[in-house]
Amino acid sequence: MSDSAFHYVDGVLHAEGVSAASLAQQFGTPLYVYSRDALTRAYRAYADACAGRPAVVHVAVKANSNLAVLNVFARMGAGFDIVSSGELARVLAAGGKAENTVFSGVGKSAAEMREALEAGVKCFNVESIPELHALNEVAKSLGKRAPVSLRVNPDVDAKTHPYISTGLKSNKFGVAFSDARATYREAHAMPNLDVVGIDCHIGSQITEISPYLDALDKLLELVEQIEADGMSIRHVDVGGGLGITYDDETPPDIGDFVRALLAHIQKRGHGQREVYFEPGRSLVGNAGVLLTRVEYLKPGEVKSFAIVDAAMNDLARPAMYEAFHRIVPVVKRDAPAHRYDVVGPVCESGDWLGRDRDLAVEPGDLLAICSAGAYGFVMSSNYNTRPRAAEIMVDGERARLVRQREEVRQLFAGESILPD
């Protein structure tokens, strides 16, 4: 398994001190299972590396927005990075604080800006000149000044999947590097904006430190130019995107990653500035698994299929990104393995969770889809009118239901048919 929180005891997969088989029996499948210990250890790796430095951690809510997960981080003093007013509501409901929350995202509406300003968020990461003007007008209508940071696109190749690369010229995110200095001058001239920082996020599932250092070099050079124009940049937001091990990837250790970036900033003469980290996947990805039950084994002329009760609506990453997740048996069988595509019941050829997996399984057996804590449940849907899975948090030898399984009648409760 990719994380020590999930391990085998006498051939049975456990989440911390609880048998995964017992969780499936008690709560049914498909079932998302999270480890509080894994969440805690990942966050502390960031926080410990930041200790004694002007550096803070804002958890990227988009990776996993379950209230119990967010509450684990809030209890440890985390800040949060949001991309919608809905995520702001979740942060507040989970015990987080607006004043420790950064509002990112390329398409904030005026209503969302208003809600965030009234709540008192820490900063807006702004991504275009039209957004600057919109935020200035909203702040003016409320008699406030909005703290802003511009997300600058440094045109650095993060060497990751094109769908999760965000720092190239061709991506929709951020202000073009060549336009950034002039955009800062324009923001500074707006009476209801307060320029406080600079932001950069180059992609996701990044397994090397070098792209971050390349982006930082360009960012810090720009900071010097901006301050020469009479503005003060108090913080540098390096974003998130640090990868995890899904298969054989070898991303840097979290502490080594943080210390390398902070040392680089210090070396460049900017050690006095506050540094924001916005991790998501590296906090929650390997803190969760998706449990699913084998319904049928279907032999085929070219391929054989293990048809399970989880599907692309439960875990979209394989269908969307051709992403790899390890798939392991919950109870190991002493039997020959056969090669299967692990697929779901959704009526799409793209409904697969794993291809060409060697598994010793029978109908009724349980499988665990690993590294499912990030962009798992949070991206799930009700396609084919399928209720979304339940979510469980394991804490030592206790398991708590932190989201109930949906029921079919809930899925169309807000719909109506035409009158006669």
Q: List the beta bridge partners of residue 175.
A: 152
Q: What was the pLDDT predicted at 2? A: 45
**318: three-class secondary structure by DSSP:** helix
Burial bucket for residue 79 (CB in 10 Å: 0-12, 13-18, 19+)? buried
What the block records as the tokens of 232 is: 């003060």
- Residue owning tokens 């684990």: 72
Residues taking part in catalysis: 347
Domain extent listing, the chain: 6-35+285-411, 105-277
How far apart (Å, rounded) are the C-alpha atoms in residues 225 and 221? 7
User: pLDDT tens track of the chain, all 420 residues?
Assistant: 545 899 999 999 999 999 999 999 999 999 999 999 999 999 999 999 999 999 999 999 999 999 999 999 999 999 999 999 999 999 999 999 999 999 999 999 999 999 999 999 999 999 999 999 999 999 999 999 999 999 999 888 665 545 444 444 556 678 999 999 999 999 999 999 999 999 999 888 999 999 999 999 999 999 999 999 999 999 999 999 999 999 999 999 999 999 999 999 999 999 999 999 999 999 999 999 999 999 999 998 899 999 999 999 999 999 999 999 999 999 999 999 999 999 999 999 999 999 999 999 999 999 999 999 999 999 999 999 999 999 999 999 999 999 999 999 999 999 999 999
Q: Which secondary-structure segment (H or E) carries 319? A: helix 317-321
Interacting residues of 94 by C-beta distance below 8 A, sequence separation 6+: 67, 68, 70, 71, 74
How far apart (Å, rounded) are the C-alpha atoms in residues 176 and 172? 10
Domain 105-277: CATH class, spelled out: alpha beta
Q: What was the pLDDT predicted at 168? A: 47
Task: Count CB atoms within 10 A of the CB of residue 178.
Answer: 10
Q: What was the pLDDT predicted at 1? A: 53
Q: What was the pLDDT predicted at 164? A: 42
Burial bucket for residue 401 (CB in 10 Å: 0-12, 13-18, 19+)? middle
Q: What was the pLDDT predicted at 171? A: 62
How far apart (Å, rounded) are the C-alpha atoms in residues 299 and 115? 55
How far apart (Å, rounded) are the C-alpha atoms in residues 35 and 394? 5
Q: What was the pLDDT predicted at 169? A: 53
How far apart (Å, rounded) are the C-alpha atoms in residues 244 and 63? 13
Q: List the beta bridge partners of residue 354.
A: 342
What is the CATH code of the structural domain delimited by 6-35+285-411? 2.40.37.10
DSSP track, 240-287: --B---SSS--PPPHHHHHHHHHHHHHHTT-TTSEEEE--SHHHHGGG
Q: What was the pLDDT predicted at 156? A: 81
- Residue owning tokens 């590296």: 282
Alpha-carbon distance values, 230 to 123, 175, 219, 268 (Å): 20, 20, 17, 20
How far apart (Å, rounded) are the C-alpha atoms in residues 389 and 319? 18
Whether residue 15 contacts residue 23, with contact meaning beta carbons closer than 8 Å, is answered with yes
